Amino acid sequence: MDNNLDKKITQYLNDNKDNFISDLRKLLSFNSIKGEALPDKPFGEEPAKALDFMQSLCDEAGLHTTNYDYYCMDACLGDGEETIGALCHLDIVPAGEGWDYPPFGGEMVGSRMYGRGVTDDKGPAMAIFYAVKALLDAGVELNKTVKLIFGSDEETGMSDMAHYLKKVKAPDYAFSPDADFPVIYAEKNIMGGFYQANVEGSTKLVSIKGGTATNAVPNSAVAIIKHDTLPKAIDKITYELNDGLLTITAEGIAAHASLPHKGDNAISTLLKALVEVLPDEDAAKPLIKTLSDGLSASDGSGIGIDCRDDITGALTLNHGVIKYEDNVITSSFDIRHPVTLDYKEVMEKMKTALKGFELKKIYCSVGIYRPKDGKLVSTLQSLYREISGDTESEPIAIGGGTYARCLPNAVAFGPVFPNGNAGGAHTINEYADVDELLKAARLYAHCLYSLANS
Ligand SMILES: [Zn+2]
């Protein structure tokens, strides 16, 4: 770290804390959830307003800005041929009910600010903008162009970056302040899809329903079958018999699909119980058994796709949603696949993995792997260690997916510090500590400067 530059950056951020707070508060005031598409605004009015506001700040600061059809905008400093990108988003998920503070108010309590998006991802977006303002104020020379990219569709499909990459060349290196510190150097491939089977001639099976999202371990699942007696009680299963209809309710523990060992899959528990209770001659039984044997093991061994690498670890499989209606069973899955292995092999195996079922859809969001000793990761990590004081930390690998995977040569980097004072993203009472955001801004300023001059 350049100590002389650090003095100037720190001074600028200290002197401009009130401006930072008022700019961030204004940015939080837009309810920028995806809305009805308008002719020239693909995500509706509010995301466009947030983008316009950010663009006006960047223009005022003297950056060169471009709006890409309201999918996103970028703001550039310098005119070097090579580019260093930083990717944030200004769209949010719905605020929901039950907040203790106004979700669009940016209210301060001590050093905490409350509001939808203050952590994910408007606070980080403002931090990266102030990082650039601090560099401008310090009068630094940059050999490469620094390009801030503000997206408008991170939360609902990331079509913003697909649009962007049709229009401009991707940055040579980039990081995305839309996750946690330290730097995330690897992310698994994320696969998803669903199987379907027609059930011809079952006289017993009435309905099955379990799970609400493929990327979550389901905490409950329910089936109804025609049955005359109450089966023997088993763990995590409740039976209820009414007029020849047996309701079987399985209880589990919710968790993120990338961490299935932290949960307990209620669909797997339900299928096991169904295999026990359904009579052998019922047409649904072999299909239920196939599903139970195939998709219950969270390492994928039930269908022979278990594998691992040294970077991101073992494959995980989550049977996230199941339903049976109109004689059709539909089972949706989420797979986190080791990033250095070939995901196409797994796709191929899955086509024929479940006898009697058709693989109706399968897709893959390709993960990230940037070597730890490469320029991008090593630069970010060493500056992070120096400025955070978290000197023992190493770059991390995750099973989740971040916004960084929308750009080639990008990694996710902050802004939430380990044990940081931030939380509530995607739930209620979202908050961030303004001093921590400014600390992230200081770090980002050094990272941009260093990447742009090496
Ligand atoms: Zn985000």
Residue 89 CA, ligand 1 centroid: distance in Å = 7
Look up residue 305 and give its amino acid: I
Q: Give me the catalytic one of 23, 74, 91, 155.
A: 91
**Which among 139, 21, 53, 62 is positioned nearest to 438, based on CA atoms?**
21
Q: Give me the catalytic one of 153, 154, 155, 178.
A: 154
> Torsion-angle region of residue 44: left (phi > 0), alpha (psi -120 to 50) or beta?
left
The span from the CA of 411 to the CA of 185, in Å, is: 6
Please name the residues in contact with 36: beta carbons below 8 A apart, sequence gap of 6 or more.
44
334 catalytic per annotation: no
User: Whats the size of the chain, residue-wise?
Assistant: 454
Half-sphere exposure of 386 (CA within 13 A, CB side): 15
Tens-level pLDDT at each residue, the chain (454 residues): 899 999 999 999 999 999 999 999 999 999 999 999 999 999 999 999 999 999 999 999 999 999 999 999 999 999 899 999 999 999 999 999 999 999 999 999 999 999 999 999 999 999 999 999 999 999 999 999 999 999 999 999 899 999 999 999 999 999 999 999 999 999 999 999 999 999 999 999 999 999 999 999 999 999 999 999 999 989 999 999 999 999 999 999 999 999 999 999 999 999 999 999 999 999 999 999 999 999 999 999 999 999 999 999 999 999 999 999 999 999 999 999 999 999 999 999 999 999 999 999 999 999 999 999 999 999 999 999 999 999 999 999 999 899 999 999 999 999 999 999 999 898 999 999 999 999 999 999 999 999 999 8
Please name the residues in contact with 15: beta carbons below 8 A apart, sequence gap of 6 or more.
none
Q: Does the model's pTM come out above 0.85? A: yes
According to CATH, the superfamily of the domain at 3-188+368-452 is Zn peptidases (3.40.630.10)
State residue 389's pLDDT score.
Answer: 93
Residue 379 CA, ligand 1 centroid: distance in Å = 23
Residue 155 CA, ligand 1 centroid: distance in Å = 7
Residue 159 CA, ligand 1 centroid: distance in Å = 14
Residue spans of the domains in the chain: they are 3-188+368-452, 189-365
- Alpha carbon of 197 to those of 144, 233, 319: distances in Å? 55, 29, 15
Q: Which two structure tokens, joined as six digits, stand for 291?
A: 């599903």
Domains 3-188+368-452 and 189-365 share a fold: no
Residue 263 CA, ligand 1 centroid: distance in Å = 24
Second CATH level (architecture) for the domain 189-365: 2-Layer Sandwich (3.30)
Residue 425 CA, ligand 1 centroid: distance in Å = 8
Residue 407 CA, ligand 1 centroid: distance in Å = 15
State residue 454's pLDDT score.
Answer: 87
141 catalytic per annotation: no
State residue 233's pLDDT score.
Answer: 85
